[in-house]
Amino acid sequence: MRVGITYDLRQDYIAMGMSEEETAEFDREDTIDAIEDSLNALGYGAERIGNVHNLVELLASGHRWDMVFNIAEGICGYGRESQVPALLDAYRIPYTFSGPMVLALTLHKAMAKRVVRDANISTPMFAVVEKPSDIEKISLPLPLFAKPIAEGSSKGIDEQSLVTEYRDLWPVCLRLLETFNQPVLVEEYLPGREFTVGILGTGRDARSIGIVEVSITADTEEIYSYETKERYETMVSYTLTTDETAKQAHQMALDVWRLFGCRDAGRVDIRADGEGKIHFLEVNPLAGLNPKRSDLCIIAAQNGLTYREIIEEIMASAIDRNVDSNYKERMYRHG
């Protein structure tokens, strides 16, 4: 089975002049190596494609694959994560992970929260700042939390993101509007425990592979910022937890996963308020897959799943969704 790999390589964009934070969501060389090695070890014929521009050129020249292992984040617009899946849909080439609609909807944090709220799943109250005049209209109770509306990897989040006075909301929002050229999500700050739930599978077959509580261990930091994520080994603790609150987070994560129609693998982030009630924060249907640094892989390792087993389950889920039952056995690694 011939499997192409689509991705955005961080070092390529840094070489083009982009900063470390601007490229935070893109993949490192060791991530692509690990995916390629795992696919080959599982019996698939892995072939590197690269970013959406490389994909366009290869498709135009007649290249095709039985499946594409897609982790391309894209670089521009709310549909950046949807660009590769949309192209593959047009050419009827199966691929891993969610489709264009899901990726675009979940990337826009406010749109995702509206969908969740309409499904009666708790999420913090929020407002969207599209222009400076929107800031003065915000009347949400303090403290507040401000972040870019369509970024990941904690981009744009630092100690100033936690706002305890309304006057401080102005400089934070203005900086984010200018830096990221997109609206700012302002929501209630929840002071309770934070969880991230790892999920494998699709629809009714989706399951949680573990829930970890995320805690900041550095005395100088209070929030899960871009800085703390980059220095996770000394600043962040990921603790496997199975208490009652974790069980509630497990069910909420699966409810959210199935609500959006997410596929194959990803994460759901959940946080508790001051009274211990949990709320949906974000869903990541295109989670990072670095064997050492990515939350999903950390969760899997703490629950006894190897990296190769993660890749194997992702491929099995994608094949199951895309291949007629008469051909499944032939296309699995055991042939």
| Cβ within 8 Å of residue 116, ≥6 positions away | 123, 256, 259, 280
Reported CATH class of domain 125-188: alpha beta
Counting Cα atoms < 13 Å in the Cβ hemisphere of 216 gives 16
Closest listed residue to residue 107, CA positions, set 83, 81, 88: 81
Q: Which residues of 8-37 are buried (b: 16+ CB within 10 A; e: fewer)?
A: bbbeebeeeeeeebbbbbbbbeebbebbbe
| Cβ within 8 Å of residue 16, ≥6 positions away | none
For position 54, what pLDDT does the model report?
97
Handedness of CA 333, 205, 290, 74 (dihedral sign): positive
For position 229, what pLDDT does the model report?
64
Query: Measured over all CA atoms, what is the biggest interatomic distance in the chain, rounded to whole angstroms?
Result: 64
Counting Cα atoms < 13 Å in the Cβ hemisphere of 333 gives 18
Q: Spell out the alpha helix ranges (H) of 119-240.
A: 166-180, 226-230, 232-235
Q: Say how many C-beta atoms besides its own lie within 10 A of residue 244's C-beta.
A: 8
- The SS3 of residue 303 is coil
For position 236, what pLDDT does the model report?
80
For position 225, what pLDDT does the model report?
65
For position 333, what pLDDT does the model report?
43
For position 20, what pLDDT does the model report?
81
Residues of the chain with CATH 3.30.1490.20: 125-188
Amino acid at residue number 213: E
Residues of the chain with CATH 3.40.50.20: 2-106
| Cβ within 8 Å of residue 53, ≥6 positions away | none
CATH code of domain 2-106: 3.40.50.20
Burial class for 101, CB neighbours closer than 10 Å (0-12, 13-18, 19+): middle
Q: Tell me: domain 194-316, CATH 3.30.470.20, correct?
A: yes
- Name the stretches of the chain with pLDDT < 50: 325-335
Q: Sheet containing 236-240: which strands, arranged edge to edge?
A: 236-240, 207-216, 194-200, 265-272, 278-284
For position 81, what pLDDT does the model report?
97
**Model pTM?**
0.91
For position 154, what pLDDT does the model report?
79
